[in-house]
Amino acid sequence: MSYALSLRCRKCGGEYPLQAQNLCDFCFGPLDVAYDYKAMAASLTRDKIARGPVSMWRYADLLPIAGEPVDLGTGFTPLTRADNLGRLLGLEQLYIKNDCLNPTWSFKDRAVAVAVTKARELGFTTIACASTGNLAASVAAHAVKAGLKSYVFFPSDIEQGKIVSTAIHNPTLVAVQGSYDKVNHLCHRLVEAYGWGFININLRPYYAEGSKTLGYEIAEQLGWRSPDRILAPSASGLLFTRIWKGLNELSMLGLIGPVNTHMHCVQAAGSSPIVNAFENGTLHVLPVEPQTIAKSIAVGNPADGNYALKAARESGGTAASVSDDEIIEGIRLLAETEGIFSEPAGGVVIGALRKMAKSGIIRSQDVTVACITGSGLKTQEIVSDSVRPVTIEPSLQSFESMVCVPNVTAASD
Ligand SMILES: Cc1ncc(COP(=O)(O)O)c(C=O)c1O
Ligand SMILES: [Zn+2]
């Protein structure tokens, strides 16, 4: 059952049917899905959600889709207590939301699952996207599942793991010689020229809604409450705004109490237009030229940057950036304390978390959730210098002469 009513302009309130359109014809404001929240509230309960599938589809009533979802099993990823990392940072209630554990190893599966389901409902036979890498793999995989053709466009200098994990699904791969912002600009022109369903352009209102499920899960997994703080990485800024929206919807529907969560938007210092605006106290995000190892979030002109800025301010949160070295340290710290291998976007989160714990922005008792949104298996080259094996002959003697083992006192263990 879908409670989605229409697309509504965020700026002027203009209404449109639930079609493939992302901007208002009158004021060019972004369109969002509008819902019948009254009817939704009357039928939704915590129990009903909890009885649903162990995936993002347990929240199907809160999403703008009518029929069968294109389902790769996305969502309901672990929210794990990070006691080892927390102890190091002096945080007693730290959690990791591990969205590496989605079908194509990033949170993008949430957004894509909804957008591709909608694309199929709307009768598209070809879907496409402008991607920094994770979206590409997700779109290619979902296209296969839905029986659609796909074209994925990405900057030619992204990591090999991102390209291979996309190529394996056999989409038409288009490597564009230019930054993500250039790729995105090209794709806006292709929407007009070809009329395909571009997942993050003309289908953006639906794509945006998929990301809300990350916020829903955090609240449900904490026992139906919103945390004190959430840290999430931002590229276009959309995920950040939708986690915030998700929490506020649950509260409005009476499924959780008031939301007192401080939202912390984190970016790589080499691509931090939202953080710059936050620090300068300006209302508008100004574009930058990205230069960072965190390629998945290297977006210089973020489409939802102003809204992410607003969510950070409105929630009493902050925006913070970390250097490339701090990103790598963050990746290592998470891997060595919690056993989770993140890509650079997660290194940004952990780097920022460490700084904020040190400076006292996050207090030891704060229930804090760090969102790890993509897997390090796709970006292995960044930490490949970790590989320093001791090479030995296949003999006990070689092992004992080459590997330093602490004194063994009993043979029984
Ligand atoms: C791993 C990862 N985390 C976070 C983001 C940020 O997404 P958004 O564009 O919604 O801000 C991206 C975007 O590509 C990503 O790949
Ligand atoms: Zn408008």
Ligand 1 mean position, distance from CA 135 (Å): 8
The strand ranges marked E within 65-170 are 79-81, 94-98, 126-130, 149-155
Give the tokens for residue 345: 């976007």
Tokens 């993008």 -> residue: 108
Give the tokens for residue 289: 């030229």
Nearest to 30 by CA among 38, 22, 42: 22
Render 6-36 in DSSP notation, one character per residue: EEEETTT--EE-SSS--B-TTT-PBEEEEE-
Residues with C-beta less than 6 Å from any ligand 1 atom: 106, 132, 134-135, 233-240, 296-297, 343, 345, 373-374
pLDDT, tens digit (0-9, with 9 covering 90-100), for 96-149: 999 999 999 999 999 999 999 999 999 999 999 999 999 999 999 999 999 999
* Nearest residue by C-alpha to atom 14 in ligand 1: 296
| Cβ–Cβ < 8 Å for 370, 386 | no
Ligand 2 mean position, distance from CA 67 (Å): 29
Residues 161-199 as b or e (16 or more Cβ within 10 Å = b): bbbebbeebebebbebeebbbebbeebeebbeeeebbbb
* Nearest residue by C-alpha to atom 15 in ligand 1: 296
- Nearest ligand 1 atom to the CA of 211 is 10
- Nearest ligand 1 atom to the CA of 233 is 4
The span from the CA of 344 to the CA of 379, in Å, is: 8
Domains in the chain: boundaries: 79-105+209-385
Give the tokens for residue 162: 């991102």
**pLDDT > 80? residue 339:** yes
For a pocket test of ligand 1, which of 297, 306, 340, 377 has the largest count of ligand atoms closer than 8 A to its C-beta?
297
| CATH number assigned to the domain with residue range 79-105+209-385, chosen from the 4 options 3.30.420.40, 3.40.1280.10, 3.40.50.1100, 2.40.30.10 | 3.40.50.1100
Say which DSSP state 374 is in: B
pLDDT the model gives residue 177: 98
Q: What type of residue is 346? A: G
pLDDT, tens digit (0-9, with 9 covering 90-100), for 344-393: 999 999 999 999 999 999 999 999 999 999 999 999 999 999 999 999 99
- Nearest ligand 1 atom to the CA of 106 is 1
* Nearest residue by C-alpha to atom 7 in ligand 1: 235
| Cβ–Cβ < 8 Å for 29, 11 | yes
Query: Which residues lie below 8 Å from residue 182, measured CB to CB, with a gap of 6+?
Result: 155, 176
Burial of 304 (0-12, 13-18, 19+ CB in 10 A): buried
**pLDDT > 70? residue 93:** yes
pLDDT the model gives residue 51: 97
| Cβ–Cβ < 8 Å for 129, 200 | yes
Average pLDDT over the chain reads 97
Give the tokens for residue 159: 């990591």
pLDDT the model gives residue 329: 98
- Nearest ligand 1 atom to the CA of 234 is 11
The strand ranges marked E within 75-223 are 79-81, 94-98, 126-130, 149-155, 172-176, 197-198
Give the tokens for residue 144: 């296969």
Ligand 2 is an ion; its neighbours by CB within 5 Å are: 9, 11-12, 14, 24, 26-27, 29
Q: What type of residue is 81? A: R
Confidence of residue 408 (pLDDT cuts 50, 70, 90): low
